[in-house]
Structures are given as structure tokens and as C-alpha cells.
Amino acid sequence: MKPPIELTLAPLDNQRLANLCGALDENIRQIEAAFDIAIARRGEHFKLRGDTAQAQRAAQALRRFYEQASEPLEVAKIQLGLIEQSNLDRNVQPVTGLLTRKGDLHGRTPRQVEYIRNVQSHDITFGIGPAGTGKTYLAVACAVDAFERQQVERIILTRPAVEAGERLGFLPGDLSQKVDPYLRPLYDALYELMGFDRVAKLFERQCIEIAPLAFMRGRTLSNAFIILDEAQNTTPEQMKMFLTRVGIGSRSVVTGDLTQIDLPRGHKSGLLEAVRILGDVRGIAFTRFLKEDVVRHPLVARIVEAYEKASAHDAD
């Protein structure tokens, strides 16, 4: 068995140490999960067991978080800090300057950085990958940035109204009320990036529109930033219809997760077909996210990896 990496945090500050560890050592558990090691603590003395390189990186993280622990550290700050350290290790340069309410908003992984650059430099961009990789959130952030810079006149957000094991018909209300829960992630991102009052006013002025994909047919969308979310649940016909709505002065982002297709059995995914048909078309960019790009709880990346392994085994 490899000897543990030993670490003593100094100078000792009991309040700073408590802020670092979190309630019931929950922050320490986050660091363990991120680096796949075991951490034993007695006061300011730590023993880190596991892969030597990972234990050394975890020790660096503990020192850095200890320096930041003049105030309590929330779990979310620990998770994002671990992602940022990973980027520093790989010399990833973030994209800066998105005009939103969150002044520090930037790509936190190499593929998130690539994604933002693709959106800013292409008229049509596809962001494909598992949940938690920031596909939708960063697309909305780029839309807000383009609107604030007056590069577009409106933001249009859409997605197919396909149920994930539920039936729309059983939900109360008219069609717009039925699909509203499906569009909630888009609303939430807008509210966070622009503020509730500003978003409400822009809805009233029809500068922001959120609608089911079915409402896009027959329209030409010019001078707009258009986002198609959950595109894995489009049919090939719907995907073609959407992509041909893009007008002069518009930019479009298509996001989806090919491992979570909710279409009825036997129906092809429009996103899957678009990847096959449009992969070599000049002017269209593809960013493919991996489990390493997940910016949620560290266990989410492991859940994604487990499902990937199971799918590969079933395919064999």
C-alpha cells in the first residue's frame, strides 16, 4: 500500500479550518469525491490516501481553499473551485467578457471555452453532451451577451414538447400552460443572467420569446439569437424545419443529449441525423461535451460514466 500524503495547514486558525471543512466535513467529502481519494483529518493534520498524483492535487486544493476560508465555503464554491483548478492544471484560458449580470461568467472546462468561442464565431453551433455540462446555460448567456451588445434584436428560445415518461394531455391548462414546465430551465437561466424585472419587460416588448418548436413552422427568424434546447427529442423533419428558419443576421445554437432521447420507439432523433449529415458543412460548429465537463456534484460525472459503460456493454 502506498504511504499517505501528509499535510498540515498553517498557521492554525480554527475558524478558517471549520469554514474549510464545512458542516460534518461535507467540503472534505467533495474533495475526496473529486479526486477519488480518502482523507483522514485530525485537527489541522490531514492524511490523503489513494493515487499519489491525485492525492498531491487534493493537497494543493486543501491549501488553496484554506486560504479562501476567511468566510464559510459553500459546497457549490468548492465544486467550482475544483473545476477551476483542473483548468489551471491543463493551462486552459477562459473566455471572458460576456455581458450578463454575472460578471465572472466564463467557460470552466476546455470544451466550455471552445463552445463559447464556437457560438461567438459561427452562425449555427451544436452543443452535444450529458446533463450538467452547461450546454443550455452558456447558450443563453451568449444570447444575452449578443442582445446586450445589440448584435441581435431579440432572443428566441424553443424546444420540442416531448414527454420524458409523462403525458402532456394529463397536465392542466391550455397548450402554453402544458409546455411551460418543459421550458422552465430556459426561464431560470434568463432570470439569473438578466434579472426578473428586465426579462419581464423584454417579454412584454416581444424582445424575448419562448415557444414550443411546433410554433416555429412557417417563420423566418431574422436578426435573432435562436436556441433549440433538448434537440435530441426532435424528429429529422423538425430539425430540418428549425435549421431552415434561420434568417439574415441571426445566430442559432442547438443543444441536446443523445443519451436521453424520449422519442417513441422506432422514431429517429433529428439531432442524431443532423450530426451525421451536417458534420462537414462549413460554417456549422460542433462541440461535444464529455463527463469531465459536468459542473454539478462530482457524483454526476461518475453516474454519466457508469451509464456510458453500461451502454457500451449492452451494445456488445
Which region among 116-120, 123-127, 173-177, 256-260 has the lowest average model confidence (pLDDT)?
Answer: 173-177
The answer to whether 226 and 234 are in contact (CB under 8 A) is no
pLDDT digits (tens, 9 = 90+) for 270-301: 999 999 999 888 889 999 998 878 876 666 66
- Tell me the β-bridge partners of 47: 6, 40
pTM above 0.75, yes or no: no
Task: Give the chain's largest Cα–Cα span.
Answer: 67
String of b and e for 254-288 (b: at least 16 CB within 10 Å)?
bbbbeeebeeeeeeebbbbbbbeebeeeeebbbbe
Domain with CATH 3.40.50.300 in the chain: 110-315
When the pLDDT of each residue in the chain is averaged and rounded to a whole number, the result is 85
pLDDT digits (tens, 9 = 90+) for 170-222: 445 555 555 566 777 888 899 999 999 999 999 999 999 987 787 788 888 88
Cis-peptide into 11, omega within 30 deg: yes
Domain with CATH 3.30.1370.10 in the chain: 5-89
Superfamily of domain 110-315: P-loop containing nucleotide triphosphate hydrolases (3.40.50.300)
Handedness of CA 273, 276, 277, 278 (dihedral sign): positive
Question: Is domain 5-89 annotated with CATH 3.40.50.300?
Answer: no
The answer to whether 227 and 139 are in contact (CB under 8 A) is yes
Cα atoms found within 13 Å of the Cα of residue 20, Cβ hemisphere only: 24
pLDDT digits (tens, 9 = 90+) for 135-164: 999 999 999 999 998 989 999 999 887 654
How far is 117 from 132, CA to CA, in rounded Å? 19
Cα torsion through 191, 130, 177, 162, rounded to 10: 160
How far is 213 from 34, CA to CA, in rounded Å? 38
pLDDT-above-90 percentage for the chain: 47
Predicted local distance difference test score (pLDDT) of residue 116? 93
Q: How confident is the model at residue 8 (pLDDT cuts 50, 70, 90)?
A: very high
Predicted local distance difference test score (pLDDT) of residue 160? 85
Closest residue by Cα to residue 121 from 141, 142, 135, 140: 142
C-alpha cell at 251: 445566430
Q: Which amino acid is at 213?
A: L
How far is 274 from 271, CA to CA, in rounded Å? 5
How far is 245 from 312, CA to CA, in rounded Å? 36
